[in-house]
Amino acid sequence: MSVLLKILVITKNFWKLYLLCLTLVLAVSVFNLVQPLIIKHIVDLVTVYLSDRNPVFEQILWFFALMIAVELLALWVTVINGYLGDVLAEKIEIFLMSKFYEKVLALDVSYFDNESKGALINQLKRGIWNITSFVNEFSSYFLGLLLTIVLTIVLLATYSSLLALLFMILVPVYVLLNYKASQKWLQKQEQINNLEDSLFGRIVEVINSIRLVKASAQVNTEYNQFLSKRWQVKELRLKQSQIYYQFDWFKKLSLNSVIIFVYIYALYNTYKGVFTIAEFVLFAQLAQQIKIPLTSVSYVFTLSQSAIAGAKSYFEIVNQQPTITDLPQAKELRVTEGEIRFANVTFAYNKKLALDQVSFVVKPKSKVAIVGESGAGKSTIANLLLRFYQPDAGAIYIDGQNIQEVTLESLYKQIAVVFQDTELFSGTILENILYGKPEATLEEVKYAARMANVADFVEQLPEGYNTLIGERGVQLSGGQKQRLAIARAIISNKPILILDEATSALDSKTEKEIQKSLEVLMQNKTTLIIAHRLATIKNVDYIIVLKDGKILEEGTPAELYQRNGFYTQLVKLQSLQEAILPEKGLVI
Ligand SMILES: Nc1ncnc2c1ncn2[C@@H]1O[C@H](COP(=O)(O)OP(=O)(O)OP(=O)(O)O)[C@@H](O)[C@H]1O
Ligand SMILES: [Mg+2]
């Protein structure tokens, strides 16, 4: 029930429209009940007319006219209500979608570490569809059904308390049966939803990694896994169908038996002269009239149960609270010098320690390299500096300001980053570079592209900067993608720069060329360079060597080399002494 309550609460903003729809529905129900009464009067008049030829013919015509007028009015109100229902549904859909998207954009990065994107989209679509159709049907249907049932019984009671009593017993039994059936149905629906979420999650993952799937000869396996899950869904759906029809035949049987009894009872009493023919016609109509809402009750129950099941994960997501947000007293980050300081930072991803009491200072406008084996925690340092995750202990300062106490937006405005896994959008090359600075001119874009050594490539393309690059830049080579990401960082021109393996996909020649541009770019900026390859970090001012989340050694390249530790081994291993040492004036 709480989900239904949440649905009503979440849609409270539209109460005026909602109320209007409800009023119209109620009006239609009243019109529907007026019709049998008019018909009863007509039959009454016809009986009188037939028996003694009273001059009631004109009255009959008037009642006919009234009947047509009521019918037209009901039709008109139904049409308006239908349209308003659509307006309401559309408004609710926009509201629900924007609430979801707003939350998804606000949630911590860590939330997405555990979530399947396909499942998320499926949950969104299901949630929205279920909530909207429930609200729509509820406003244009449910109360009308309820009112029709109540009014019909009241009307019946004025003529025959026995018939009214019969329906008063039948209705709760009917509702109870529906409730029982829908409960069983709901259990299955929750299983179906979970299965479908994982099904869609996998489809999206497989499409995203289609090259890997094909190259690993896993096409058939993936397809068969899909089929087996889909078959499980089918089994559950058929079980739902069985539940539905098992109850359905019993419900229909009891309803039809009561209606037949009404006919027989009314006919018998008419025959006996207790009821008039007109009353018989009225009962017959009322019995038919009540059949529609009672049959629809099961639909309403099914609808509300799917809303409960479907909206559950929607609400779970919308009710998630991001932990990384602006503090109430958060200030704007002001970068004057560009000093970065990690003070005793400890951090674990899901209890898996990634950084252990890490402390270091990056001097203003200096270039600091972070090196270390794969998994040492290098990217984690970038993640924490960007506040994608929160340190478990310790703090990070930029120019003496704790980054947890500044607004996220002001932090992001000061840091340009080239991620280890190049992030590009489907769209044009121009759009992707402009993402770093939306207001930049074409000249600035071209300059950034030249600096990133990608201009020649772009300009020889038939569409130039307007070339579409496919989702995640799939139509580009790894190196081209990286160079575009570098161009994006260049154009954003922020005082702090993070390069996480930014040139790892480039050949030595291209890397060297970009290196020159990067040198220019890094002037007057504080730069963190994360790299495996030592060629990438020549000319840095300081090196931090990480191992298993701890700082193993740190110092200037010359100091570190003399220490003959991990860094020296790394240099020797990569046989790059000549690339690094002459510039630092060292002799091995
Ligand atoms: N999102 C995550 N969830 C859980 N564990 C993670 C996550 N990201 C990284 N890790 C773990 O944290 C540790 C440090 O990862 P990190 O990405 O910082 O390594 P790295 O030094 O950048 O390695 P590489 O050179 O391979 O990029 C690793 O053991 C990794 O398995
Ligand atoms: Mg990394």
How far is the C-alpha of 386 from the C-alpha of 166, rounded, in Å?
70
For the Cβ of 127 lying below 6 angstroms from any atom of ligand 1, the answer is: no
What is the residue whose two structure tokens read 């044009």?
428
Nearest to 81 by CA among 148, 15, 143, 28: 28
pLDDT score at 515? 81
pLDDT of residue 585: 41
* Smallest-distance ligand from the CA of 389: 1
The CA 547 to ligand 2 mean position distance, Å, reads 13
In the predicted model, is pLDDT for residue 395 greater than 50?
yes
Q: Which ligand is nearest to the CA of 349?
A: 1
The pTM is what? 0.81
Higher-confidence residue: 374 or 345? 345
* Cα atoms in the Cβ-side hemisphere of radius 13 Å centred on 382: 26
Distance 221 CA to ligand 1 centre (A): 29
Q: What average pLDDT does range 515-525 have in this prediction?
A: 82
Average pLDDT over residues 117-142: 85
Q: In what helix (H) or strand (E) does residue 527 lie, and over which residues does it extend?
A: strand 526-530
* Confidence class for position 474, pLDDT limits 50, 70, 90: confident
Angle at 299 between CA 296 and CA 304, to 5 degrees: 130
Supply the mean pLDDT for the chain: 88
Of the chain, the percentage scoring pLDDT greater than 70 comes to 97
Task: Specify the residue with its C-alpha closest to ligand 1, atom 28.
Answer: 375
Q: How many helices, marked H, and strands, marked E, lie in the chain?
A: 20, 10
67's tokens? 């009947």
Confidence of residue 575 (pLDDT cuts 50, 70, 90): low
Sequence letter at residue 231:
W
The per-residue pLDDT for 391 is: 96
Residue 28: pLDDT band by 50, 70, 90 thresholds? confident
Q: What is the pLDDT of residue 546?
A: 93
Distance 377 CA to ligand 2 centre (A): 7
Q: Is the pLDDT of residue 577 over 50?
A: no
pLDDT in tens, 195-231: 999 999 999 999 989 999 999 999 999 999 999 999 9
| Residue-level pLDDT at 582 | 45
Q: Is the CB of 53 under 6 A from ligand 1?
A: no
Q: Which of 210, 204, 225 is nearest to 117 (CA)?
A: 204
572 C-beta neighbours (distance < 10 Å), count: 13
358 CB within 6 A, ligand 1: no
Q: Which atom of ligand 1 has the smallest separation from the CA of 372? A: 21
Q: Looking at residue 85, what is its pLDDT?
A: 86
Q: Whose CA is nearest to atom 29 of ligand 1?
A: 375
Q: How far is the CA of 460 from the centre of ligand 1 (A)?
A: 38
User: Which ligand has an atom closest to residue 375 CA?
Assistant: 1
Residues 195, 119: Cα–Cα separation, whole Å: 10
**pLDDT over 50 at 11, yes or no:** yes
Which ligand 1 atom is the nearest neighbour of the CA of 350? 4
- The full length of the chain comes to 588
Give CA separation, 113 vs 99, 138, 383, 392, in Å: 21, 38, 13, 18
* pLDDT given for residue 233 in this prediction: 96
Beta-bridge partners for 529: 369, 499
Domains of the chain: 2-318 (1.20.1560.10), 365-386+412-584 (3.40.50.300)
Phi-psi region of 37 (alpha: psi -120 to 50; beta: other; left: phi over 0): alpha
Q: Convert the pLDDT of each residue in 293-302 to its tens digit.
A: 888 777 777 7
**Interval 407-436: pLDDT, tens:** 999 999 999 999 988 888 889 999 999 999
pLDDT digits (tens, 9 = 90+) for 286-333: 888 888 888 877 777 778 888 888 888 899 999 999 999 999 999 999
For 60-101, the pLDDT digits (tens) are 889 999 999 999 999 999 999 889 988 988 999 999 999 999
- 234/56: higher pLDDT: 234
